Amino acid sequence: MSSGKSSIEPVNGIILLNKEDGLSSNRALQNVKKLIGAKKGGHGGSLDPAATGMLILCFGEATKICPYLLNNHKTYRVIAEFGKSTSTGDREGTIEETSEIHMHDHDYWVGILEKFLGESAQIPPMYSALKKDGQRLYKLARKGEVIQREARKINISSIKLENIGDDCVEFLVTVSKGTYIRVLVEDIAKKAGMVGYTKKLHRVGVGNFKEKQMLCIQSIEESIASSGTENKDYLLPVDTALLDWSSIHLNQDELGMFLNGRIIEVSSSSKGLIRVYDNEEKFIGIGEQKENYLLIPRRIFHL
C-alpha cells in the first residue's frame, strides 16, 4: 500500500471503511491513518479479523465522538452454517460438535428467526474481549479455561431471512450494543434442532450510517493518487455521526460562554445530548441539555 504525504491542513473527519477479511480493526485503522496522513485516529467499535464490513474510522477532532458511537445499533448480513459448531463460534475455531442437518422451507426459517425478535438475555461467549479479573476472556479460553458469565440484556429490532442454502441460511439482522452474532447463530441452530456456527459476518450499518456510504481501501488510494491528500472527498464531516441527535444554534454571546466551558441558559426544550452549532452552521461541540433549559458543554471541537 502506498502512503499519502502529510497534509498541511489537519485531517478531521470520518471514513466508513469496508474492512476486508483477515484484517484486525487496529491494523485497518493504522493503514488508513498512514495513507491519508492523519496524526490521530481511532475507531468507533471493532470488528473481528474474520468479519468484514463497516468500520467507523475517526481522525483528528473526530476521535472525540468515538465514545458516543459505541451505543449505536448495528446491522449485519450473516451466513449461518449448520451441522457443526466451533470453539470460537466462527470459522476461525476448531470443530467441537457435529449434528445432522435439517433444512426447511422459507416459512419455517422465517418463523424461527422471528422468535429472536425483541428483548432477551444472552450469555457472552468465552471468545470475547470481556474481562474477568483484568484478563480478556479470549485469553483464558485459549488456555482451556471456562469462566461463569452473566447473561446480558440485548435487543434484536429486525431480523430478515435473505437466502436458504443446502446447509445454511443467510439473514439480515439489526441488534443492540453488546449482542454477539456468534451466540445468536448458535441459538438459532439449537432452536432448529442442530448445531451451527457463523460462517460469514458482514457489518452493513452502524447507527444512521448506511452500507452505500462505505469505502474500500482501494477507492481511497485512487482518490489520493488522482488529486492528492488536499482533496478530502473521502472524509465525512464530524457531525454526520450524530445527525439523529437534536441540534441547537448559539448566538455570539452564548457561543463565547460555551467555548469557555460555562453552563448557559437556552430556549430549546430538547433534553439529553445535543449537537451545538454557531450561527454560520459550523459544528462546534456536544452539549447536554437539562430540563431547566441549561446547556452544559461536554465536548468542544476545533474544526
Can you tell me the distance from the alpha carbon of 237 to that of 194, in angstroms, rounded to the nearest whole number?
46
Residue 107: helix, strand or coil by DSSP? helix
Query: What is the identity of the amino acid at 24?
Result: S
Whether 35 and 57 have beta carbons less than 8 Å apart is answered as no
Query: What is the identity of the amino acid at 102?
Result: H
Is 90 considered catalytic here? Answer: no
CA-based R_g, the chain, Å:
22
Long-range contacts of 65-71 (CB under 8 A, 24+ apart): 65/238, 65/241, 65/242, 65/286, 65/299, 66/42, 68/241, 68/242, 68/273, 68/286, 69/44, 69/45, 69/206, 69/207, 69/241, 70/44, 70/45, 70/177, 71/177
The residue from 21, 48, 107, 133 that is catalytic is 48
The partner residues of 253 in beta bridges, in order of sequence, read: none
- Centre a 10 Å sphere on the Cβ of residue 91 and count the other Cβ atoms it contains: 14
- Which cell numbers hold the place of 135? 484478563
Q: Report DSSP state, residue 125.
A: P
| Residues 59, 280, 277, 240, Cα dihedral to 10° | -40
Catalytic residues, which ones? 48
